[in-house]
Structure 1
Amino acid sequence: MDNQRQLSVYQFALLTLLFSLGSLARMIRVDEYRSLNLSMGMCLVPFALLIYLNVSYEQTWDFRVWPFFSLTFALWPAVLKRYAKNGR
Structure 2
Amino acid sequence: MAVNFRCSRARELPAGDPLRRAWVRWRDASTNDELWELNRGRRTLADRVDDERFATLPIDGRLQVVAEISGRHRCDDDDKVK
TM-score bracket for this pair, using the shorter chain length = under 0.3
Superposition TM-score, scaled by structure 1 size: 0.22
| Structure number with higher relative contact order (C-alpha < 8 Å, ≥ 6 residues apart) | 2
Report the structure, 1 or 2, having the larger helix content.
Answer: 1
